[in-house]
């Protein structure tokens, strides 16, 4: 299994330690396996799932995520391995010996359907009223496996309160399937570790330290957990209603700034190839929506560079010429997520942060001062909106 450098995850989730030759072409470096009666050869330690992928065979997954360490908890990816009494989770099974795998026997399909049905039985609410409708991995699985009649019941009664305390992340446990992708993301990729499973059995849920609202724990608002949640249990805080209200209010002057990366990212929503920038189209669309002005954050990105650059020169001057004690190296302060991370985990380094505002913040300030004056608008009537690439920008 690949090592994803995850030194804080419990051993159960770490890539499994398997002694193997570095080069798969060495003797014992690869194993031959039979997948659905097709003979193939894979490097020792490859998971069944990866072996299947490499050979064009699809195995459904839910808790598995390419970026994350193994979990093996949803059990949707089970397959038959000849000679084994039980089905095996293909995402968590490293191949170390020649085995025969069957990925779609009646037994396997039935087990998968049962598992999906069980998850749906506890998955509160209906898809048509869900913001993930059409983009939900659980929904896709249910559709693919024809699980469409709630064999084991269904609930519309929320069990948990929605936590929308955070500026960035909204948690709705009622949609959670306990895949623990968020847990692994937070501790493993982000090294923050805000989320963990608590209680056990049927009462298991994902929680924060002492069950506190997300606002009150050391969450850095990075939103990486949202990116990896397969369902609607995690989502970004959505301020559309407030923005519409401002646009609809004739007294308000509503302006918006767009950062470069969402201008490109939005192309994927329209089926274009990733990386295609839609700056002009987006500008037009925003104007038609009713924004009074559209600005480009690039302007203040340049300002930030001037500021931070000047600050660095001053610090270097103080350190090298004046031999004063200043904090070096100088860290950027452009990401509120990073700043919060540093404040919580490495407070000793806070002095190393640049004192410059981020481009978004600079623009916000400029709009209310320089622009307000130029345009002759009362700063109090200006509503300033920003399209940004990261949920931490809301903080």
Rounded least distance, CB 36 to ligand FES, Å = 18
CA of 165: how far to CAs of 134, 220, 291, in Å?
A: 27, 13, 28
Residues 139-198 contacting ligand SF4, CB under 6 A: 169, 176-182, 185-186, 190, 192, 194-195
**Both structure tokens of 330:** 């100088």
Among 22, 82, 156, 202, binds other proteins (CB under 8 A): 202
Rounded least distance, CB 137 to ligand FES, Å = 10
Query: How far is residue 254's CA from residue 247's CA, in Å, rounded to a whole number?
Result: 6
From the list ligand SF4, other proteins, ligand FES, none, pick the one residue 204 interacts with, judged by a Cβ distance below 5 to 8 Å according to partner type.
other proteins
Q: What Rg, from alpha-carbon coordinates, does the chain have?
A: 25
Q: How big is the site for other proteins, counted in residues (CB under 8 A)?
A: 44
Rounded least distance, CB 358 to ligand SF4, Å = 18
Q: If binding is defined by CB under 8 A, does position 7 make contact with other proteins?
A: no
Query: How far is residue 20's CA from residue 3's CA, in Å, rounded to a whole number?
Result: 13
Span between the terminal Cα atoms of the chain, in Å = 37
Closer Cβ to other proteins, 112 or 263, answer by number: 112
Among 44, 48, 219, 356, binds ligand SF4 (CB under 6 A): 219
Is 324 in a helix, a strand, or coil?
coil
Query: How far is residue 103's CA from residue 110's CA, in Å, rounded to a whole number?
Result: 12
Specify whether the CB–CB gap between 336 and 393 falls below 8 A.
yes
Rounded least distance, CB 295 to ligand SF4, Å = 27
From the list ligand SF4, ligand FES, other proteins, none, pick the one residue 350 interacts with, judged by a Cβ distance below 5 to 8 Å according to partner type.
none
CA of 240: how far to CAs of 133, 173, 236, 346, in Å?
A: 18, 22, 11, 35
Among 3, 5, 11, 210, binds other proteins (CB under 8 A): 11
Closer Cβ to ligand SF4, 115 or 372, answer by number: 115
H or E element in which residue 303 lies: helix 298-316
Residues 83-122 contacting other proteins, CB under 8 A: 85-87, 89, 92-94, 96, 107, 110-111, 114-115, 118-119, 121-122
Instruction: Tell me, letter by letter, the H, E, C secondary structure of 1-25.
Output: CCCCCCCCCCHHHCCCCCCCCCCCC
H or E element in which residue 52 lies: helix 48-54
Closer Cβ to other proteins, 86 or 325, answer by number: 86
Rounded least distance, CB 211 to other proteins, Å = 16
Using the structure block, give the residue that is written with the tokens 């190393």.
352
Residues 58-87 contacting other proteins, CB under 8 A: 70, 72-76, 78, 85-87
Beta bridge partners of 235: 170
Residues of the shown chain interacting with other proteins in the complex, contacts defined by CB under 8 A: 10-12, 16-19, 70, 72-76, 78, 85-87, 89, 92-94, 96, 107, 110-111, 114-115, 118-119, 121-122, 151-153, 177-178, 180, 197, 199-204
């Amino acid at each position: 299994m690949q090592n994803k450098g995850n030194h804080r995850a419990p051993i159960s989730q770490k890539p499994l330690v398997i002694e193997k030759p570095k080069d798969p072409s060495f003797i014992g470096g690869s194993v031959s396996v039979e997948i659905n009666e097709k003979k193939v050869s894979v490097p020792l330690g490859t998971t069944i799932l990866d072996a299947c992928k490499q050979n064009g065979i699809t195995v459904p997954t839910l808790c598995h995520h390419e970026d994350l360490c193994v979990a093996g908890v949803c059990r949707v990816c089970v397959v038959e391995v000849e000679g084994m009494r039980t089905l095996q989770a293909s995402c968590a099974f490293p191949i170390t010996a020649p085995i025969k795998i069957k990925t779609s026997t009646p037994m396997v399909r039935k087990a998968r359907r049962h598992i999906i049905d069980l998850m749906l039985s506890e998955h509160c609410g209906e898809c048509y009223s869900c913001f993930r409708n059409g983009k939900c991995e659980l929904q896709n699985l249910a559709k693919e496996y024809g699980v469409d009649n709630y064999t084991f019941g269904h609930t519309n009664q929320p069990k948990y309160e929605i936590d929308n305390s955070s500026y960035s992340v909204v948690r709705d446990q009622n949609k959670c399937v306990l895949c623990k992708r968020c847990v692994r993301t937070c501790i493993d990729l982000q090294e923050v570790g805000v989320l963990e499973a608590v209680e056990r059995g049927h009462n298991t849920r994902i929680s924060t330290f002492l069950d506190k609202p997300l606002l009150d724990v050391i969450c850095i608002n990075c939103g990486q957990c949202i990116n990896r949640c397969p369902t609607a249990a995690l989502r970004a805080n959505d301020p559309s209603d407030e923005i519409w209200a401002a646009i609809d209010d004739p007294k308000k002057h509503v302006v918006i700034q767009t950062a470069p990366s969402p201008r490109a990212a939005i192309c994927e929503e329209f089926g274009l190839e990733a990386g295609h920038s839609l700056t002009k189209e987006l500008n037009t669309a925003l104007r038609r929506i009713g924004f009074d002005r559209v600005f480009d954050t690039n302007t203040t990105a340049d300002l930030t560079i001037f500021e931070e650059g000047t600050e660095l020169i001053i610090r270097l001057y103080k350190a090298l010429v004046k031999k004063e004690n200043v904090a070096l190296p100088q860290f950027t302060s452009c990401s509120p997520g990073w700043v919060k991370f540093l404040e919580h985990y490495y407070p000793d380094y806070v002095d190393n942060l640049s004192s410059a505002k981020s481009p978004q913040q600079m623009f916000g300030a400029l709009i209310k001062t320089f622009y307000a004056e130029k345009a002759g608008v009362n700063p109090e009537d200006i509503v300033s909106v920003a399209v940004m690439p990261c949920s931490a920008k809301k903080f």
